[in-house]
Amino acid sequence: MANMAELIIETRDLVKKFGNFTAVDHLSLEVPAGSIYGFVGPNGAGKTTTMRMLTTLTRPTSGQAWVNGYSVTEEPRAVRRAIGYMPDEFGVYDDMRVWEYLDFFAACYDIPEIERKKLIDDLLALVDLSHRRDDMVDKLSRGMKQRLSLARTLAHDPSVLILDEPASGLDPRARIEIRELLVELARMGKTIFFSTHILADVSEICSHIGIVEAGQIIAQGSMDDMRAQIQPHREITVTLRDQEAVETVKSLIGSVEGVVGVNEMEPRAGRYRLRIDYTGDDEGVAELNRTISGAGIAILGFAEETKDLESMFMRVTKGIVT
């Protein structure tokens, strides 16, 4: 189980008030090590403020937060060593070359000069900017700047990346590139905690999700758990050659335990489709498949539909707003 894993970011009743305005209201986060955690919520929900508290830039009004086991208020330097932070605004030093930008931040992390050259080459290769090594930073496209920013966060080999809206304002291609980079980094063992309001990003790459609204977490957990929570049964779409097959499958499956409903869908491109609502586990799904093919029926497609995240998001957040 994912929530049994070691937590690399944990907050308990985190509160941040600006005057009378409560930006973050008793927020408790649990980010397991090695996860890609999508921190989702509408604008102004307190995502950035939470991240600023986790990165030691803002002190919480009350509550506790730990990163990699270190308290953000008690041991800020240990926390800074453990995190790579990318704010939503790209900090531009307009008078620097790409390699100098990385060299400067590496030096700020006390990396000795002899190690820096190789480090910069490696980082640039990782984010695919080796060919722009000697260009000025402000000549880069937005997507490239974002990738350079990501390289900067990796300079001191942190265990957690805290990224504020890493894909905002990017064109589709650049967004996909960033997404692939994040997956690659997760594979290298980094925990990635990023905020976004683009649900497609989350459903593509996240292993965990936390939904925040008005400064409070309203749902969090692994994507699988969340899906199961939102979606009480699985939806399986079976594509068949003709109407006859449809009838046969209906009669075959209808009585199987766990099958809640079998509905015919509109034929598409001359293919007939059946939707099976099923509450069983993976083994049961395989058994369904075997039953159908065992009856000598040609199966053109057998797929479990994942219910899209948007409807899930709408369903969870609606309760709070109204």
Q: Which residues bind other proteins (CB under 8 A)?
A: 52, 55-59, 77, 80-81, 83, 85, 87, 89-93, 95-96, 100, 104-105, 107-110, 152, 156
Half-sphere exposure of 227 (CA within 13 A, CB side): 18
Place of tokens 């925040």: 212
Query: Could you tell me which residues are beta bridge partners of residue 301?
Result: 239
* Minimum CB distance to other proteins smaller for 149 or for 203: 149
* Cα 94–chain centre separation: 31
In the bound complex, what is the minimum distance in angstroms from residue 56's beta carbon to other proteins? 7
* Minimum CB distance to other proteins smaller for 70 or for 278: 70
Residue type, 246: V
In the bound complex, what is the minimum distance in angstroms from residue 54's beta carbon to other proteins? 10
In the bound complex, what is the minimum distance in angstroms from residue 53's beta carbon to other proteins? 11
d(CA 292, CA 304): 15
In the bound complex, what is the minimum distance in angstroms from residue 197's beta carbon to other proteins? 20
* Minimum CB distance to other proteins smaller for 98 or for 288: 98
In the bound complex, what is the minimum distance in angstroms from residue 106's beta carbon to other proteins? 9
Main-chain dihedrals φ then ψ at residue 255, nearest 5 degrees:
-95, -5
In the bound complex, what is the minimum distance in angstroms from residue 67's beta carbon to other proteins? 11
Three-point CA angle 44, 149, 125, nearest 5° = 145
With H, G, I as helix, E, B as strand and everything else as coil, classify residue 107: helix
Half-sphere exposure of 86 (CA within 13 A, CB side): 28
* Minimum CB distance to other proteins smaller for 109 or for 302: 109
In the bound complex, what is the minimum distance in angstroms from residue 5's beta carbon to other proteins? 26
* Minimum CB distance to other proteins smaller for 90 or for 302: 90
d(CA 206, CA 209): 7
* Minimum CB distance to other proteins smaller for 88 or for 235: 88
* Minimum CB distance to other proteins smaller for 77 or for 268: 77
* Minimum CB distance to other proteins smaller for 89 or for 283: 89
Place of tokens 């040609």: 298
In the bound complex, what is the minimum distance in angstroms from residue 110's beta carbon to other proteins? 6
d(CA 253, CA 264): 13
DSSP count for the chain of H helices, then E strands: 11, 15
User: To 10 degrees, what angle do helices 282-294 and 243-253 make?
Assistant: 130
| DSSP structural state of residue 125 | H
d(CA 221, CA 31): 9
d(CA 145, CA 92): 9
